[in-house]
Amino acid sequence: MRFLRFAIPTALACIAFTAFTALAQQVNSSNPSGASASSKLDTQALRTTLAQRIPQLATIEEIRPTPMDGLYEVRVGTDLFYANANGDFLIQGELYDTKAHRNLTEDRIKVLTAVDFTKLPIQDAFVLVRGDGSRKIAIFEDPNCGYCKRFERDMAKLDNVTVYVFLYPILSPDSFEKSRDIWCAKDRVEAWNGWMIHDRIPESQPSCDKLDAIQRNLAFGKNYKITGTPTVIFEDGARIPGAIPSAQVERKLQEIAQLPKTSSK
């Protein structure tokens, strides 16, 4: 899997526990009653302080309070950090609710990365149908992605599923050429399976100019910050990056099948 992640200097991660301890002590001493400090937050001042001290945080998109008094979520894209009100302490890590036994950081990222399945431009994908095709997933894949090949071979175990494959050439110029050759093939599914499963190089299509779909896929992925392949999108909007096992895909599909059906208007 190719995965690009925004990162601040790793030293911040190393001092996270120390910073958290100091932050907790500061919050307890300044707010002994445990009352929420969210109303006292000067959002613009915190943005300015963090941007001045850590240039990588110059494009903060959102700051909001967390359930922990005095601790604020700082969001850059889909990357989350935590800071105190004046920006003296920053934590790069995960926030866990020990009472509810929930990873709050993980829950938040799931919301931020969700994709409305009904808004996928399925006209720019080709379709693989297995069995009755009653269940649906979408996958963004680069034909030169080794993890994608492994994923495709494992996915053959799934039955009764419709797979929308979005060609997403982000690894190399050759990735775009192979995507072109597959998209412009007379039988896209055969060309795709031939390459991804059987290592048969697709027939070259250098004169093909029907590339708008691939460009739209790249634009869509950029807009939704799809930075790695394969990336799987489920009907409930959940997005999972990486070559996850077919058994995990199956469990997720069964979970979705248990959700209440919403009537379309």
- pLDDT higher than 60, residue 12: no
- How would residue 197 be classed by pLDDT, with cut points 50, 70 and 90? very high
Q: pLDDT band at 8, cuts 50/70/90? A: low
Average pLDDT estimate for 132-149: 97
pLDDT at residue 22 is higher than 70: no
Q: What is the amino acid identity at position 182?
A: I
50: tokens are 């963090």
| Segment 150-174 mean pLDDT | 96
- Helices (H), ranges, the chain: 11-14, 16-30, 43-53, 104-113, 146-155, 173-183, 188-196, 212-223, 246-257
Q: How many Å separate Cα 204 from the centre of its chain?
A: 32
What was the pLDDT predicted at 7?
A: 52
Q: Would the CATH topology of 43-113 be identical to that of 117-258?
A: no
Query: Helix (H, G, I), strand (E, B), or coil: what is residue 174?
Result: helix
Q: Is the peptide bond before 55 cis (omega within 30 degrees of 0)?
A: no
Q: Pick 117-258's CATH classification: 3.50.50.60, 3.40.50.300, 3.10.180.10, 3.40.30.10.
A: 3.40.30.10
- Dump the DSSP string for 89-146: -EE-S--EETTTTEEHHHHHHHHHH---GGGS-GGGSEEEEETT--EEEEEEE-TT-H
**What's the whole-number mean pLDDT along residues 73-102?**
96
Q: How confident is the model at residue 35 (pLDDT cuts 50, 70, 90)?
A: very low
pLDDT at 23 over 70: no
For residue 108, name the pLDDT band (cuts at 50, 70, 90): very high
What confidence score (pLDDT) does residue 262 get? Answer: 61
> Spelled out in words, what is the top-level CATH class assigned to the domain 43-113?
alpha beta
Are the C-beta atoms of 149 and 177 separated by less than 8 Å? no
Distance of CA 238 to CAs 54, 112, 129, Å? 32, 10, 21
Domain spans, the chain = 43-113, 117-258
- The pair of structure tokens assigned to 67 is 């359930």
